[in-house]
Structure 1
Amino acid sequence: MTDPQQRNTAGIGQRPAPAVFFLSDSTGITAETLGNTLLTQFPGHRFERRIIPFITTEEEAERVVRTIDAVAAAGARPIVFSTVVNPDTRAILSQGNGHFMDLLGAHIAELEDVLQSRASAEPGKAHGLGDAIRYQSRMTAVEYAIEHDDGQSIRALERAELILIAPSRCGKTPTTMYLALQHGVLAANFPLVEEDLTSRSLPEPLRPFVRKCFGLTSLPVRLSQIRQERRPHSTYASLSQCSWELRNAEDMYVINGIPYVNSASMSVEEISATIVQRMKL
């Protein structure tokens, strides 16, 4: 016969991952970002995540509540993060059988007191067209990043606010795209090829813009793993080649006074925040 204490202990590791809902009256980006930030403080847990965006009517809110209730009836009560701004819609969502966490409501009320003004309760202000000028600047930056990805174009480099340089597969493209989309930064990225790394000199088109350059590096083992996925068993992906490229890239950064960061253990968000701070963008 199994000891009850052993049976209970065994069950702990087998608990199903709790469901997590991110509810929004817009895209859901804010709800997901804030909610996930909180969840990262509990690294021992797995979660089944689901984003439900564009909850703009009471009927839609009631349908979401039915979905949450069905999940709760089948197992544990789900965790619910909400950035819905309309108070009536928010009130309906809070009635569901989940652990409801209102990420905006209390802060909106507090700001109303501070500003002595009523909130608009209009959805979509953070990531929609609420600020047309900011939105357009981000779209312009995305177009610029696409055109200037991986050294495809050197046209209008004088317009760049940032030129990201690094050996292949160090994270240049996702970082420039994130900076464009989230911060509206006009960012180009340029690969460092063997000729550049051998001479430790900046590629010629970049030399007039050295003060706009920022470098990425990595760990040889990590870079080799990433390259193996692209070109298995190649010289390009070998540990010795990755070590040589990274060592020479770092030498280049130092010689030319270019700031840089090791991207091996950093998320795109962390890399971007570091660049924005250090380059004063």
Structure 2
Amino acid sequence: MADQRQTGFVGAGGPSAPTVFFLSDSTGITAETLGNTLLTQFPGQPLERRTIPFITTVEQALEVVGVIDQLAATGPRPIVFSTAVGQDIRAVLARSRGHFFDLFGSHIGQLEQALHTSASGQPGQAHGVGDAVRYQSRMAAVEYAIEHDDGQSLRALERAELILIAPSRCGKTPTSMYLALQHGILAANFPLVEEDFANLSLPEPLLPFRGKCFGLTSLPVRLSQIRQERRPGSVYASLAQCTYELRNAEDMYRTNHVPYVNSASMSVEEISATVLQRMQLHH
């Protein structure tokens, strides 16, 4: 059978919780992303999630259908999100006794009409190597983000398309990495430390690149909680220190006309989308 990955429970699962299947003839990432996006509209619903990627033969598809049908016979009818590309595999999966949502086939015909051409029918295009140039661009961006994480290197800073600045633990690193991996953005990030607040000017290495800078801030209580996990009981994690750094960082942003966003209640995806929109970065 295809590889399976148990992704755990949401809420108090138990025997009455429907199982949600994310099925794919590739990695399953797209099925998970689209399916989970739809499921966010039902936050109180307990669900068990199972991802089954690399369903590449009809035999494997039949085996998966057997699992779904067995669950349907003994409990709540499963929910099935599929991004399988191959028509034969999609046809088999659609025969399951689950609530079947074909996230690929339901739109591909419309796209073929709109583009006046036939789909390739090749799986793995979204998260495989696919477009070699774009793939290499993303990998180069990841290498750049790693080298320029937390101000470790100032080499080739002129190549940066974006420089994230913020006090420690405001989300610079995960945002830089996400923008690199998902969008191929050459993103550096630079920490703001106490000596940077002696005046309201940007740190000297960033002055030539003011137009590439984007600031992150947070809520003092939230930042203190995050820092306590790293250095419990330290001045670094104290509410007073966090309040001081955030207040001065925001003053710096405003003085230097650096756009910024409060990341306290935002996911890395939301932060990244905000940065892309406000900095008008497109790949």
Q: Is the shorter-chain TM-score for this pair beyond 0.5, marking a shared fold?
A: yes
Once residues 87 and 98 of structure 2 are traced to their aligned partners in structure 1, the CA distance between those partners, rounded to angstroms, is 18
| Map 1:27-106 → 2, pairs under 5 A | 27-106=27-106
Q: Return the offset for 1:14.
A: 7.4
**Is 1:166 matched up with 2:166?**
yes
Once residues 49 and 143 of structure 1 are traced to their aligned partners in structure 2, the CA distance between those partners, rounded to angstroms, is 33
Once residues 221 and 191 of structure 1 are traced to their aligned partners in structure 2, the CA distance between those partners, rounded to angstroms, is 19
Equivalent residue for 1:21? 21
| Contact 2:15 2:75 survives alignment (8 Å) | no
**Is 1:265 matched up with 2:276?**
no
Once residues 125 and 60 of structure 2 are traced to their aligned partners in structure 1, the CA distance between those partners, rounded to angstroms, is 20
Once residues 236 and 217 of structure 1 are traced to their aligned partners in structure 2, the CA distance between those partners, rounded to angstroms, is 16
| Map 1:1-281 → 2, pairs under 5 A | 16-281=16-281
| Contact 2:138 2:185 survives alignment (8 Å) | yes
Q: Return the offset for 1:217.
A: 0.3
Once residues 274 and 66 of structure 2 are traced to their aligned partners in structure 1, the CA distance between those partners, rounded to angstroms, is 42
- Cα deviation code 1:138-186 (max 9, x no counterpart): 0000010111111111111000000001001101111001000110000
- Following superposition, which runs of at least 4 residues in structure 1 exceed 4 angstroms of deviation? 12-15
Equivalent AA in structure 2 for residue 158 of structure 1: E
Q: Return the offset for 1:200.
A: 2.7
Q: Return the offset for 1:28.
A: 1.3
Any idea what SS the aligned residue of 1:248 has?
helix
Q: Return the offset for 1:66.
A: 2.0
Any idea what SS the aligned residue of 1:121 has?
coil
Once residues 62 and 52 of structure 2 are traced to their aligned partners in structure 1, the CA distance between those partners, rounded to angstroms, is 13
Q: Return the offset for 1:232.
A: 1.3
Q: Return the offset for 1:276.
A: 0.5
Say which is worse superposed, 194-203 or 225-234, in terms of deviation.
Answer: 194-203
TM-score normalized by structure 2? Answer: 0.91
Q: Return the offset for 1:278.
A: 0.7
Say which is worse superposed, 17-26 or 177-186, in terms of deviation.
Answer: 17-26
| Contact 1:217 1:262 survives alignment (8 Å) | yes
Any idea what SS the aligned residue of 1:199 has?
coil
- Percent identity of paired positions between Structure 1 and Structure 2: 76
Cα RMSD, aligned residues only: 1.6
| Contact 1:25 1:84 survives alignment (8 Å) | yes
Q: Return the offset for 1:54.
A: 1.4
Equivalent AA in structure 2 for residue 212 of structure 1: K
CA 1:17–1:233: 2 relative to 1, 3 Å = farther
TM-score normalized by structure 1? Answer: 0.92
Runs of 5+ unmatched residues, structure 1: 1-11
Once residues 177 and 212 of structure 2 are traced to their aligned partners in structure 1, the CA distance between those partners, rounded to angstroms, is 17
- Cα deviation code 1:30-70 (max 9, x no counterpart): 11111111001111123222221111111221122122223
Equivalent AA in structure 2 for residue 148 of structure 1: H
